[in-house]
């Protein structure tokens, strides 16, 4: 997976298909789970792009809709957008397309928890300092 671009609140990632990513022996169709991984990775990066800082995050949930089969002859592009950000949560939308084609292959909506470890660190950190 390569990162193509990072703008404020939006990330584009690219994945070149390999034969081990296919969903069946006899077809050159990429397994949906590969698209899932791509959406999860791009979504996580979009949280950082939206927050403009690096903090530990955790995926709370991710919902994928697979609109079309993904052919293995072209690279996949994932465009993940941070739709809304609160102190604790980030809402991400991600579209997956074939390179050079405008038709959507899959869409994803994900919720990420922000500052997952940071909060624990802060909560316990002060006490430890004074102790």
Minimum CB distance to another protein, residue 43 (Å): 9
91 forms part of the interface with another protein (CB under 8 A): no
- Choose which of 53, 61, 103, 127 interacts with another protein (CB under 8 A): 61
Element (H, E) at 95: strand 89-98
User: Residue 61: which residues within 8 A CB-CB, separation 6 or more?
Assistant: 110, 111
Minimum CB distance to another protein, residue 98 (Å): 17
Closer to another protein by Cβ: residue 10 or 23: 23
122 forms part of the interface with another protein (CB under 8 A): no
- Choose which of 23, 74, 115, 119 interacts with another protein (CB under 8 A): 23
Torsion sign (Cα): 12, 18, 21, 26: positive
What Cα–Cα distance (Å) separates residue 102 from each residue in 28, 46, 76, 77, 82?
20, 21, 12, 11, 21
Minimum CB distance to another protein, residue 131 (Å): 25
Which residue in 34, 45, 120 sits closest to 90, CA to CA?
45
The binding site for another protein (CB under 8 A) comprises 19-25, 31-34, 36-41, 44, 58-66, 69
């Amino acid at each position: 997976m390569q990162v193509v671009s990072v703008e404020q609140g939006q990330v584009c990632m690219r994945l070149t298909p390999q034969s081990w990513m296919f969903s069946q022996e006899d077809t050159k169709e990429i397994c949906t789970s590969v698209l899932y991984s791509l959406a999860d990775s791009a979504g996580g990066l979009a949280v950082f792009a939206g927050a403009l800082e690096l903090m530990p995050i955790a995926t709370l949930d991710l919902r994928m809709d697979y609109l079309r089969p993904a052919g293995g002859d072209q690279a996949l592009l994932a465009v993940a957008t941070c739709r809304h950000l609160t102190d604790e949560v980030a809402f991400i939308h991600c579209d997956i397309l074939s390179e050079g084609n405008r038709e959507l292959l899959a869409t994803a909506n994900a919720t990420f928890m922000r500052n997952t470890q940071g909060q624990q660190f802060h909560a316990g950190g002060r006490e430890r300092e004074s102790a």
